[in-house]
Amino acid sequence: MDPNAPPVDPGKVWFVDKPLHWTSFDVVKKMRGHFKVKKIGHAGTLDPLATGLLILCSGKKTKKIEHYQGLEKEYTGIFRIGQTTPSFDLETEIDSETDYSNISYEEVMDATTKLTGTIAQIPPIYSAIKIDGKRAYKSARAGEDVKLKSRMVQIQLFETSYINLPDVHFRIVCSKGTYVRSIARDFGQLLGVGSHLTELRRVRIGEFHVDNAQSLKTLIEK
């Protein structure tokens, strides 16, 4: 061992409550600069319009990222039926509106049941999935025709906590690789009136809860 070699960073794990409008990389970049660490990454992307638990690892602890990524996720949020957007959330403008006045409580419950269990899900074209080396969202924003293949995901729980149409407040527990925005699209399609995501918060990753996370502001002011 070279006695003049710099010490190996043992690493650290942070549990951050990601603020609204920040990308996951924005948080990584801010933490990297504040704590003066080069090797740092996150264990699962949150969209800019989502808030909640983001796990970051530095140094040797980055080896744990794959483990955290594989844990089940829990989300709360709001689906708005009767309107759709190309991105399935508020990132893009509403592109269709449909009357939802005849939608019943029973139909909403039936749709949640059909989207529970192991399902085939097509990711949003406004996503970071790569197609021939290019991010899908870049192709979508350029107006290109984007085709993504479906993938099997596990929805352990899909329940409504409050319904005040057009808004459906939900709680979802799901596997790695699940896009809640795609659930919004599929939910609206099952109801026949369309739907998009207006609010999303990741409250849990495995055993780690956002209630025990720190705000980014608190972390960088330490």
Known catalytic residues?
Answer: 47
Q: Which residues make Cβ contacts (< 8 Å) with residue 159, sequence separation at least 6?
A: 112, 170, 171, 172
Q: How far lies 211's CA from each of 31, 70, 116, in Å?
A: 20, 21, 26
Cα torsion at 50, 45, 206, 119 (round to 10°)?
Answer: 90
Amino acid symbol at 204: R
Q: What is the helix, strand, coil percentage profile of the chain, to 5? A: 25, 35, 40
Classify the C-alpha dihedral 114-117-121-127 as positive or negative: positive
* Element spanning 77, H or E: strand 73-81
Q: Left if phi > 0, otherwise alpha if psi is -120 to 50, otherwise beta: which for 3?
A: alpha
Mapping DSSP to helix (H, G, I), strand (E, B) and coil, where does residue 33 land? helix
